Structure 1
Amino acid sequence: MNRIATALVAVVTLLVMTIIAVHRLIAATPSGGAISADSPTITWAGRAWTAPNPLSCFSAGGIDPTCDRFALAIVPPKKDFVVTIRVTAANATDQAAPTDDIDLFVRDPSGNTIASSGTSGGIEELVLNNPPAGTYTVVVQPFVVVPGGTYVGFAAIGNARTDQLTNSYNGVPFTATFVGVPSSTPAKSAPLVAQLQTSFNYVGRRAAEPTIGVNKNNKAFFAASTFDFPNATFPERLARTLVMRSTDKGVTWQAVSPSLTSSLPADEDTATFPPFSLDPYVYVDPVGLNPAGKTGRVFSVDLNLACGANAIFSDDEGSTWTSVPLFACNSPVNDHQTIVTAPPPPGFTTFGYPNMLYFCYNQVGDSNCSRSINGGLTFATTTPAFTGADPNAGTVCGGLTGHLAADTTGRIFLPKGHCGLPWVAVSSDAGTSWTRVKITNNTPMADHEVTLAVDSADNVYAVWQDGTFRLPFLSVSKDHGATWSTPIMMAPPGVHEVNFPTIAAGDAGRIVVLFPGSESQDFSDATRPWNIYVVVSVNALDVNPTFTWTRANDKNDPVHRGDCGPRRSCQELRDQSAGTEAAARSRSGDPPDQGAGAFREPLSPRRCGCGYPKSWSDPRMLEAESLSRVILVWTAGPLNKGCQRTSSRTSVI
């Protein structure tokens, strides 16, 4: 009898221990907790994953057992507040270790999903604004994981955003432990840039994903591509690029693309090169064929459906052009090209042209690149800057990138929103090899666009918008991209949402950032107005820089109403370029681009959130009449210390 009793006790003990072990395996520890004004933070250890689940945590049959859950009780404080919820894969903070891809959902006390975050990486974050009291369920999905991995959960009550409107302000260093919504604060000193004036001018042509460049003569070149070629008898018109040139600082524009002399459609009398375009791109190398001159070399590169890309270049500001045979034909898949020139790095020599030319593009499976040592006449393939499937960053990160930048020693930089975080690939050997560096873990992002600029002292600046707050962030590298500063949230007071910020740099510490933004706090408002914002700093190398800002458009005449992102609903390119007199020129149309900067950005006249609009247009214009605009930014010399103050321009709207 005693043996039986002893055996029963042993069986029961083993069963209890097994239940405890299984519970630990399938549930967070602790399984729940509360946050309040008196106890504002809580952390938990996630379960050990048993298998990946790329489908859903909410199957028709009930709750999927592969997912993890944490019961979060929220006791609201007596003032406006936010709740930050963040989950981090156990190895997501490492530079090189493989990272689990997890997703985050929050369900309200009634069981409804009220928020979610699903980047392709191992860090997800959500912010709830003034959630009512109750117990919420935090659900973590092991989208693509290695069994045995886990995560850490964090939730906290923080301050809601407060706006103290001012022309001069400081941003917010966004550390890994930051809680709440970051809010800029008034600067203690007077604005470092006393005058910041802008002018909106029409280019005179609709534009899909345009880019811009400016040479040393302050002549601007703009790639304006729209669907008006080859003829009306086709089922749908193909896109055609015109290179537009301005010789009066953006007031007026003229087409300077070369005419086609062969392969014309039967009913097409006059057409320009190329015959059609998938993506346009214009880039100005300020050095050019003759470094002692000021004309530079203008490159216009259009992706081709059949093979690689078409290219033309001009050494006389668009008066004559040289065409380049189709190149980069190693893959039929190409998208979202980017171009930069740089001095040849040690060990490399150019022929017939002083600078190296680099061309990178998205192949989905990787971010492929080519280089030219003869000014763009021929190209050779280099190694990919990024791989589309990257276990070191998450899972499937894709090949879409931001735009190339280069420093004075010949280093090239290709930035990327890579598996939900900002990264940059750096090459010191002309693209033969790349070092991939994560800029920060602090700001999960939902898009691929990170924009870079390099100042005259070879400091590198990165800007992007995060996926949690939809706000712009700035980080700086003083060691050629090897390490990066704590990101600073740099939105002007009162701006609550932005998309695709882009940056240009001049002398050391002098930058200008542009982006479309909205001052509405309601992301669901289909009528919320969007403006173009220009932000300048002349001490961007400081730990907490001072910023000055303005709107490029009249606040009573917004450039758009409704959704403008996140992601590419407002096109993917914006461009700005720094000239010798102007602080920056930027145009609406698509995201960031070249050397001294690039700001592209498009919006359709009355809607931007549906599909893939092709131009940023005056909302008063008829949709069929939409025209691109170029922004000219004139300041009291924030980009180059030797700049003289110039007169403001007149808006032409």
Structure 2
Amino acid sequence: MKYIMGIAFILIIGLFHISNSFACHRTPANQPTCIDMEVDKDGNIHVVYIDYAPNNVFYIRSNDRGITWSSPVSIHVSNKEAKRPRIAVAKTGVIHVIWVETGKRNGRVLVNSSVDGGATWSTPVRIALTNGSTDVSTFGKSKVYAIWKSDNPPDIFFKRSNDMGMTWNRKVNLSNSPGLEEHPVVTVSQTGKIYAVWEEEGPVGVVPPGTYYVYFSLSADYGRTWSPPQHLCGSVGDFLRPQIHIDNGGHIHMVWSDNRLGVKRETFYCVSADEGTTWSSPVNVSGTAGDSLRGYVTTDSFGKVYVTWEDTTNVPKEDIFFSSSNDGGATWSNRMNISNSVIRSYRAPIGTDGMDNMYVVYEEVKKDSFSGKRMSNIFFTRSLDGGITWSQSVSLFDWRLP
């Protein structure tokens, strides 16, 4: 009997390793979109998203590696359109969310926080007027950092809070450039140094109008002063949507997409081991037949690098692709389609927990076969073996019409 039970146990473990599947209950939603995700030090998965029916900012979480999820909690509701939510979780467990509430002239950058794991939320604090992109990060017990693209002037600005987001210092202009800027990202190292990257339009008369480069700046004094913006990773191609991640050793990992190799875009990677002073040569991570867009990057405790991106190889739909590197980004694994959907999949943030498990959420969009209306949903997948196998993706919500 023990022998039979032992065989059964081994078979069960083996099946789990191969399929890595699990059950996930669904929660009500109308049109969830514009997702962001963070995995905290305890392995809890935090997701923020917009639901346009009505214009709500919502938060959900999983405390069991994505098997079950909380009911959605409304962070903010408004008659104005909400966009671009971003989330950061402090080591104390305090959750901070930043987003833009759009307006005809000036939108509002709002920040909200929760000290009880997302069950309740404070009153949103307005820190800027803009319709541009935003991002947020944290350090220590109480420091919160926000970055955004301003409408007028069209520069990248930064603010800091020393009291968990209740009050904020004066804004600092990081770019201070005549060119247009987009898509700022901010992150913090374990030593408290703050790093920011963004897109910036190339010099007039030097590159075609609308051609963007990636710029980088850092602060070593908790955001009081910043280094002059540094142009990164060459001047070939039109750079889009940079993302950065800092590992436990202080290495800065960056991904972005550009068209330096021709008409279509590829997802590129470079790394800095000296706090951004020098950077490695760009490496093409994607190398697929289609366009590769919206890359995300993270690492595990061993320094292994993981990247996701959306890819148009299987047109007319888009898929979420994944690749990993064991040698600091010099070489990359075979590209893996981890969404494998029959409709469009896009925007796929990736994170790891303290046990080096990997989690990805992404969006899918389709049209209702009867009404023709747009429908959106959020899907989740995970890998418990370093990206070798991935669970079957599950929808966190039911498909519904707006």
Q: C-alpha distance in 2, partners of 1:422/1:508?
A: 27
Structure ID, larger Rg: 1
Cα distance in structure 2, aligned partners of 1:528 and 1:275: 30
Correspondence for 2:397: 553
CA-to-partner distance for each residue in 1:216-235, whole Å, 9 max, x for gaps? 2322111121124xxxxxxx
Identity of aligned residues (%): 21
Q: Following superposition of structure 1 onto structure 2, how do residues 532-551 of structure 1 map, counting pairs within 5 Å?
A: 532-541=378-387, 544-551=388-395
1:220 maps onto 2:220 in alignment: no
CA contact (8 A) 1:452 1:461 kept: yes
Out of 372, 375, 378, which is 2:225 matched to?
Answer: 378
Match of 2:335 among 474, 487, 490: 487
Give per-residue Cα distances to partners, 1:132-155, cap 9 Å, x unaligned. xxxxxxxxxxxxxxxxxxxxxxxx
Match among 199, 220, 238 for residue 362 of structure 1: 199
> What is the match of residue 283 of structure 1?
137
1:196 aligns with 2:74: no
- Bigger drift between 333-342 and 511-520 goes to 511-520
Residue 147 of structure 2 is aligned to residue 301 of structure 1: yes
Question: What is the CA deviation profile of residues 309-344 of structure 1, one whole-angstrom value per residue up to 9, with x for unaligned ones?
Answer: 33222233223333343332144421110111225x
Residues 495-529 of structure 1 deviation map (CA, whole Å, 9 limit, x = unaligned): 5420121111123541110111257899xx94464
Distance in 1, Cα, partners of 2:287 & 2:156 = 37
1:417 is the counterpart of 2:289: no
Contact conserved, 2:195 with 2:217, CA < 8 A, in 1?
yes
* Cα offset, 1:252, TM superposition: 3.3
Q: Is the 8 A contact 1:536 1:547 kept in 2?
A: yes
Distance 1:440 1:243, change over 3 A: closer
What are the equivalent positions in structure 2 for 1:153-232 lying under 5 Å apart? 188=18, 191=21, 196-199=67-70, 200-205=72-77, 206-228=81-103
TM-score, normalised via structure 1 length: 0.46
Q: Tell me the distance in 1 between the aligned counterparts of 2:218 and 2:323.
A: 28
What letter corresponds to residue 545 of structure 1 in structure 2? T
Contact kept, 8 Å, 1:455 with 1:505, in 2: the verdict is yes
Q: Describe the shift of the 1:198–1:519 C-alpha distance in structure 2 as closer, same or farther (beyond 3 A).
A: farther
1:398 corresponds to 2:269: no
Kept in 2: contact 1:461–1:476 (CA 8 A):
yes
Deviations 1:171-225 (A, max 9, x none): xxxxxxxxxxxxxx99745647896122333221452212111112322111121
Check conservation: 2:381, 2:392, Cα contact below 8 A: yes
Match of 2:319 in 1: 471
Amino acid at match of 1:280: T
Change (3 A) 1:496 1:331: same
1:530 has 2:376 as partner:
yes
**Partners of 2:195 and 2:218 within 8 A in 1:** yes
CA distance in 2, matches of 1:195, 1:381: 41
The amino acid across from 1:227 in the alignment is T
Quick one: distance in 1 between partners of 2:275 and 2:65?
41
- The alpha-carbon distance between structure 1 residues 249 and 427, as it changes in their structure 2 partners (threshold 3 A), is same
Amino acid across the alignment from 1:241: V
**Residue deviations 1:270-322, cap 9 Å, x none?**
xx43244532222223xx3xxxxxx2521112223326333222233223333
In 2: Cα distance, 1:521 partner to 1:325 partner: 46
Residues 519/303 of structure 1: CA separation in 2 closer, same or farther (3 Å cut)? closer
Distance 1:195 1:306, change over 3 A: closer
User: How has the CA–CA distance of structure 1 residues 330 and 507 changed in structure 2, closer, same or farther, with 3 Å as cutoff?
Assistant: same
Contact 2:107/2:131 (8 A) holds in 1? yes
2:30 aligns to what? none
**CA 1:334–1:194: 2 relative to 1, 3 Å:** closer
Equivalent-residue separation in structure 2 for 1:497 and 1:441 (angstroms):
18
Q: Report the AA paired with residue 386 of structure 1.
A: C
Q: 1:246 touches 1:252 (CA, 8 Å); kept in 2?
A: yes
Secondary structure of the corresponding residue to residue 255 of structure 1: coil
Match of 2:56 in 1: none
Counterpart CA distance in 2 for 1:216 and 1:358 is 18
Partner Cα separation in structure 2 for residue 333 and residue 378 of structure 1: 22
Work out which of the residue numbers 360, 369, 375 in structure 2 matches 1:513. 360
Quote the offset at 1:487 in angstroms.
1.2
8 Å CA contact 1:406, 1:412 repeated in 2: yes
Indicate how the Cα distance of structure 1 residues 445 and 417 shifts in structure 2: closer, same or farther if over 3 A, else same: farther
CA contact (8 A) 2:19 2:391 kept: no
1:430 to 275, 290, 312: 275
TM-score normalised according to structure 2 size: 0.72
- Residue 111 (structure 2) pairs with residue 239 (structure 1): no
298, 309, 315: which one aligns with 2:162: 315
One-letter amino acid of the counterpart of residue 245, structure 1: S
The separation in 2 between residues aligned to 1:252 and 1:386, in whole angstroms, is: 42
Cross-structure match for 2:172: 325
Q: Per the alignment, in what secondary structure is the counterpart of residue 355 of structure 1?
A: coil
Q: Which runs of 5+ in 2 are unaligned?
A: 1-11, 23-63, 203-212, 260-264
Distance in 2 of aligned mates of 1:536 and 1:340: 24
- Counterpart code for 2:155: G
CA contact (8 A) 1:209 1:279 kept: yes
2:300 to 441, 451, 455: 455
- Structure 1: how far apart are the matches of 2:67 and 2:92? 22
Letter matched to residue 436 of structure 1: S
Amino acid at match of 1:207: A
Higher strand share: 2
Instruction: Identify if the C-alpha distance between structure 1 residues 480 and 331 changes in structure 2 by more than 3 Å, giving closer, same or farther.
Output: farther
Gap change, CA 1:244 and 1:468, over 3 Å in 2? same
Which whole-Å CA distance do the structure 1 matches of 2:302 and 2:142 have between them? 22
The answer as to whether partners of 1:444 and 1:468 remain within 8 angstroms in 2 is: yes
Describe the shift of the 1:331–1:399 C-alpha distance in structure 2 as closer, same or farther (beyond 3 A): farther
* Aligned position for 1:596: none
Superposed displacement of residue 448, structure 1: 3.8
Q: What is the identity, as a one-letter code, of the residue corresponding to 2:67?
A: L
3-state SS in 1 of match to 2:76? coil
